[in-house]
Amino acid sequence: MRILMNILWFVCGGFICFFEHLIIGILLCATIVGIPFGIQCFKMADLCAMPFGKKLESNGGVGSLLANILWIVLVGWETALTECILGLVLCATIVGIPFGIQFFKLAGLSLMPFGTSVKVAHVF
């Protein structure tokens, strides 16, 4: 089921989010100063490609907190707000609820990406 949902996600618009974060990550990594932010964009691109079956784990410290504050001020709040709005719109329909939940997961990562890792959720 997870594979089918990931395919539907990618075909129905997830590829836009994936390529957006991938291109922004490449552009940020082209500068020396933007490399830490580019790496976080690659993390978000990974989650945008196949969000079903993945979970977020927070394990940050003081350094990641300071980087997250800078991230939130520069770009984090806009992307998180956009993804929350998309999640609310999708959750308004019964069919869109699983996709809306994934947008809320993306919003959490795009709000505070430093110190958060994307892990594959093992289902037994």
Which residue has tokens 């490609």? 49
pTM: 0.81
Distance of CA 1 to CAs 82, 88, 101, 114, Å?
Answer: 27, 23, 16, 30
Compute the distance between CA of residue 75 and CA of residue 54 in angstroms, rounded to an integer.
23
pLDDT in tens, 6-49: 898 888 888 888 898 899 899 999 998 989 999 999 999 999 89
Distance of CA 57 to CAs 65, 73, 88, 109, Å?
Answer: 15, 22, 23, 10
Mapped onto helix, strand or coil, the DSSP state of residue 55 is strand
Compute the distance between CA of residue 61 and CA of residue 64 in angstroms, rounded to an integer.
5
The residues, ordered by sequence, that sit 6+ positions from 34 with a Cβ below 8 Å of its Cβ are 27, 28
Q: Where are the domains of the chain?
A: 2-120
pLDDT of residue 60: 77
pLDDT in tens, 83-123: 899 889 989 999 989 989 998 999 889 888 998 888 887 76
